[in-house]
Amino acid sequence: MSKKRAATKHGAGLGIGQMLGRLARQREYGMLALLALTVAAVQSINHSFLAAGNLSDMLVQCAPAAIVACGMTFIIVMGEIDISVGSMMGLLAAVVGVLVSKHHYGMSVDLSVLLTLLLGGCLGFINGLLVTVGRVPSIIVTLGMLTVLRGVTEMVLGGEWVTDLPHGLRFLGTGSLAGVPICLIVAAVVAVASIVVATQTPLGRRIYAVGSNPDAARIAGLHETRLKTLVFTLTGFLVAVATVVSVPQLSVIESGIGSGFELLVVTCVVVGGTSIKGGKGTIVGSLLGVLLLGTVRTDLIFLRLGEMSTYWERAIQGAFILAAVLVDHLVRRRGTVEAEA
């Protein structure tokens, strides 16, 4: 009632205050605010936080999660999940290392990277196939894959690490083009492409349609099987991309790579506003989630909380996630209630 009065008072359809309020409730802006707040807080305590080198390093750290989060967003929007991405990354890292190393196959960097990308796509495809045609729930498929691939990685590496990575491969991880690290360029390309697909293309609309109402989508003639398989294959491919631009940052490829990565990515996507039930979620939100969660550890180091803080790091991370989830939930509920008024 009072809102209507405000509306007529201003003459336009909506009062400015109301519009700002609605904007504030938009998930992404809330997250942006939280991110800005965190950065400001840390910067005020330790002034070297926002130094150019540090910013670049933090973004580089977030790059692999950002790349995979794009694919994961599509998967979760469709009502599925993929918790095998960490083990996939481990296996793909081992494969690219073994292919390129002179002790084993000594292939050229280009060929090795190509094969790795292809392998990533295949792994994703197998996941998708098992989910759609095999009708195995995605959490089961990817849970099984997570275990299997970890074992296969150990077998591929056979108890040794790959230490003779050629310069060409290392360049993907450490090099830059026009001053921007390669992994950031790739992450930006993937992000922009994903945003475009999600918001502007019919494919994106179909993905969201299947996610929000699978039965209606089926009746409307959308191929759930094809779409889901595509999305899983895409994610597998993206994991390979993330592997190839982030793993060569280090000079050694070892067997523990990617451990726990799936948890990080899923948490980022969920905290970013993608609903686990499907149908809702944005790439931008997921990317903001990556930025928020990916920098917690750095934040803690910069806050210089002393020796004790090491032990409470994970608790703080967990509390952060809990808070983000709660805030989102409460805001969303209030939002829907008001919208109905």
> At closest approach, how far in Å is the CB of 30 from another protein?
16
Distance CA 42, CA 273 (A): 24
Strand residues in 130-277 grouped as ranges (E): 176-177, 180-181
> At closest approach, how far in Å is the CB of 70 from another protein?
20
Of 67 and 99, the one with the shorter C-beta distance to another protein is: 99
Of 5 and 333, the one with the shorter C-beta distance to another protein is: 333
Q: What kind and span of H or E run contains 152?
A: helix 138-157
> At closest approach, how far in Å is the CB of 288 from another protein?
17
> At closest approach, how far in Å is the CB of 285 from another protein?
14
Contact (CB, 8 A) for 296 and 320: yes
Kindly write down the DSSP assignment for every residue of 57-121, as one continuous string.
HHHHHHHHHHHHHHHHHHHHHTT---TTHHHHHHHHHHHHHHHH-TTTT---HHHHHHHHHHHHH
Tokens describing residue 138: 């995605």
Measured on CA atoms in the order 65, 69, 70, 71, is the torsion positive or negative?
Answer: positive
Tokens describing residue 321: 């996630």
Place of tokens 């965190």: 38
Contact (CB, 8 A) for 217 and 209: yes
Of 150 and 206, the one with the shorter C-beta distance to another protein is: 150
> At closest approach, how far in Å is the CB of 154 from another protein?
4
Kindly write down the DSSP assignment for every residue of 175-202, as one continuous string.
-EETTEEHHHHHHHHHHHHHHHHHHHSH
> At closest approach, how far in Å is the CB of 325 from another protein?
5
CA dihedral 28, 58, 265, 78 (to 10 degrees): 40
> At closest approach, how far in Å is the CB of 278 from another protein?
11
